[in-house]
Amino acid sequence: MEIDKKILGSKILIIDDDVTIGMTLEDFLKENGFNMSRAITDSREAETVYRQFHPDLVLLDIRMPNLDGFQIIERFKMINNNTSFVPIVMLTGQNDESLCLRALGSGASDFLYKPIKLSEVLARIQNLLKIRILQLELENRKDFLEEKVKDRTDQLKQAIVQLDQMNNQIKEAYIETIYRLTRATEYKDGETADHVRRLSLYAATLGKALRLSSSMVELLLYASPMHDIGKIGIPDKILFKKDPLDEEEWKIMKTHTTIGYEILRDSNAPVLKMASVIALNHHERWDGSGYPNGLKGEAIPIEARILGLVDVYDALRSKRHYKDSFDHPTALKIIFEGDGRVMPCHFDPKLLEAFQRVHLEFKEIFDSHNR
């Protein structure tokens, strides 16, 4: 595999209590031009080494004595103060989907099963390090550069092409990874992983209540987290602005729907096809007052109608830099009765009926995935 020379100067930290794995990975990386790699076996040293070494990527074992991988991730978050994105690839010897989802939900970017395939290591870290470099460029800029949007979009499209060539299990992991990497430019706090997981579960719950097919519900589960992928193309000064956006800024903000569609379109993978439809249409409203195309009623794809409702519910329940959180009864009252900004006419009446039947499941999902 040809390696992009721009990433060869990256620092890679390996944390695994198995000295053989650590040495093998370190030697392999150096053989392929990554001369700034370091392996440690004692998890208690992870925090100190992380502070001193300043890695660009971490390969982290889940099961270790003293501190496990999840505890180490939490310590790294405290070091970063949730302001710097450093991708973490979890290493696990257990083919356990729930464990992998927990790893992704804790803030990991990806995972690898043991015994590790060295060729797969190169493919994973190359994609992650490319986006790490782009993230550093974003952090060092106050003004958004339009040409960089194209560069990031090209990198994401290349990753998506690779997805189409992999098996379903790897596809699902990469979809989660791509979403997290793009969202890293928007959210830098601990709520991100929980928000992503909640939207997936809300959408699947509402899909079941509507008696959609099991395959459709599964697609909703995996496609929903990518609804706002287009926000990677929105300048930070607009994305994080605490005051209300002016007319021109709001016009730019609304383009995240079309940017997301352009990133995800033209894939043969069903989950990415659905994600592109959701990205484009999740701000359309049943009464035609939404954007970007002012679609009305059933002209709005059902998956986008579902995302539009669950996204509003989660936004109402969540604390943001511009608003406080609402409790579950208040969120219900706003959705079913309106508050001026959110109105019942914005939503498909059939979805509101289904939501009424399962709203307690929404509350349980929020309470279970809200740290």
299 and 369 co-located in one domain:
yes
What pLDDT, on the 0 to 100 scale, is given for residue 84? 62
Name every residue whose Cβ is closer than 8 Å to that of residue 149 and which is 6 or more positions away in sequence. 232, 233, 259
Based on DSSP, count helices (H) and strands (E) in the chain, helices before strands.
16, 5
The DSSP 8-state label assigned to residue 188 in this structure reads -
43 and 79 co-located in one domain:
yes
- Using CA atoms, how far apart are residues 151 and 163, in angstroms rounded to an integer? 19
200 and 171 co-located in one domain:
yes
- Token pair listed for 317: 């329940």
200 and 325 co-located in one domain:
yes
Query: Which of the two residues, 8 and 371, has the higher pLDDT score?
Result: 8
SS3 49: helix
Q: Which of 68, 11, 9 is nearest to 38 (CA)?
A: 11
- What number is the average pLDDT over the span 83-109? 80
143 phi-psi bin (left φ>0, alpha ψ -120 to 50, beta other): beta
170 and 93 co-located in one domain:
no
CATH code (residue 2): 3.40.50.2300
213 and 310 co-located in one domain:
yes
Q: Give the residue from 138, 160, 186 where a domain finishes.
A: 138
Residues in the chain: 371
SS3 323: strand
36 and 13 co-located in one domain:
yes
CATH code (residue 212): 1.10.3210.10
76 and 181 co-located in one domain:
no
- What number is the average pLDDT over the span 83-99? 78
189 and 69 co-located in one domain:
no
Query: Which of the two residues, 312 and 131, has the higher pLDDT score?
Result: 312
Render pLDDT for 275-323 as a digit per residue (tens, 0 to 9): 999 999 999 999 999 999 999 999 999 999 999 999 999 999 988 766 7
295 and 160 co-located in one domain:
yes
8 Å CB contact between 57 and 10: yes
8 Å CB contact between 318 and 325: yes
- What torsion do the CA atoms of 343, 280, 259, 270 make, to the nearest 10 degrees? 140
- Using CA atoms, how far apart are residues 347 and 286, in angstroms rounded to an integer? 5
Q: Give the residue from 101, 116, 138 where a domain finishes.
A: 138
Rg, Å, the chain Cα set: 21
CA end-to-end distance (rounded Å), the chain: 40
- Token pair listed for 220: 């909703």
Number of domains into which the chain is organized: 2
Query: Which of the two residues, 256 and 7, has the higher pLDDT score?
Result: 256
32 and 111 co-located in one domain:
yes
The pTM of this model reads 0.54
Domain containing 175: what range?
141-371
8 Å CB contact between 214 and 266: no
278 and 357 co-located in one domain:
yes
Highest mean predicted confidence (pLDDT) among 71-75, 225-229, 334-338: 334-338
8 Å CB contact between 100 and 111: yes
Confidence of residue 139 (pLDDT cuts 50, 70, 90): low
